[in-house]
Amino acid sequence: MDAELHRLIESFARRGGNLLVVTGEGVAEECGVASFRSDARPFVYEGKSYDVRTLMTYELFDQAPGAVWAWHLRRLAEVRRGQPGLVHQAAARAAERLGDRLRVVTECVDGLHRRCQHPAEGLFEPQGNLFFMRCAEGCTPALYPVPDGLLGRTAQQPFTAPDMDLLRCPVCGGPTRPHILWRDESYDEPFYGVNSVLEAARRSELLVMAGFSGHTNLANKVAWEFTHNHRARIVDINPDPNPVAALARRIGGLAYQSAPSALLPEIFDVYAAAAS
């Protein structure tokens, strides 16, 4: 960490500012988890080929729920092989020390922050989480873990009657769906916490965006929310150029073309130490 970044982090921590961190696909990729939305591999289910972009839509789920579930379960199996990395571990430690002064928003659906025992009250997953399902009819906002009995299937394996029973809503008995924000859906508060995320942005003075892909509208909105507060600053950490880097510099923040794990764990540690 260079001296300029160290001074910025310490300054905001010591004067009581709140920290908001957005972790993106770059953080997941460091843990061996490939990008969810840019998966371009062909997918065949029951002899029919599907485009990945359509597999992430409610429209196709309504027409071919088996194919959509099979693809999401394949991705879940791949995500399960990944393990929380340095960023997830440092975020969980900082959350325990900082309490409500830290909020973490993740673009990712890999569940790695949760698997690192990050306190639930300080974590937002506005894209959803592959490890959970919910009632497809919306009878309840409750989330349920994807049953263990569905893990270990091959991607082309048809669903049996016992499989379908595992995919029933415990409340109404109707079908369930993956807890994922699909391409033809919009953010909302009950399922994805959009209002809570934006409120956290309004109440924070320092935003750190790490591994941000630029694919999600909400993360862009969070960054722009910070431009309305003349005291707020943005720190962007990304190995690839992205629009937030220019925005950060324009409002007096900093941008680093770096891997998230090279800087973000130290940012968490310095902030937590200075805040205490």
DSSP class per residue in 28-64? HHTTT---STT----EEETTEEE-HHHHTSHHHHHH-
Tell me which of 59-68, 148-157, 172-181, 185-194 is least confident: 148-157
Distance CA 259, CA 211 (A): 7
Query: For residues 239 and 87, what is the distance between their CA atoms, to the nearest angstrom?
Result: 15
Q: Which residues share a beta bridge with 50?
A: 43
Domain ranges of the chain: 3-34+83-129+186-275
Look-up of token digits 């061996």: 32
**What local confidence, expressed as pLDDT, does residue 177 receive?**
98
The pLDDT of residue 220 is 85
CA 272 to chain CA centroid, Å, is: 22
Assign a CATH topology to domain 3-34+83-129+186-275.
Rossmann fold (3.40.50)
Give residue-wise pLDDT tens across range 151-160.
888 888 889 9
The answer to whether 139 and 66 have CB atoms below 8 angstroms apart is no
* The pLDDT of residue 41: 81
Average pLDDT of the residues of the chain: 92
134 versus 34: the higher-pLDDT residue is 134
**pLDDT at site 155:** 80
Q: What is the mean pLDDT of residues 234-258?
A: 92
Which of 19-28, 39-48, 205-214, 216-225 is modeled with the greatest confidence?
19-28
| 3-state class (DSSP) for residue 147 | coil
Q: What are the pLDDT digits (tens) for 199-243? A: 999 999 999 999 987 667 888 889 888 888 888 999 999 988 888
Residue 274 confidence (pLDDT) above 80: yes
Helix, strand, coil percent values for the chain (each to nearest 5): 45, 15, 40
Q: What is the pLDDT of residues 63-104, one digit of tens each?
A: 999 999 999 999 999 999 999 999 999 999 999 999 999 999
Give SS3 for 201: helix
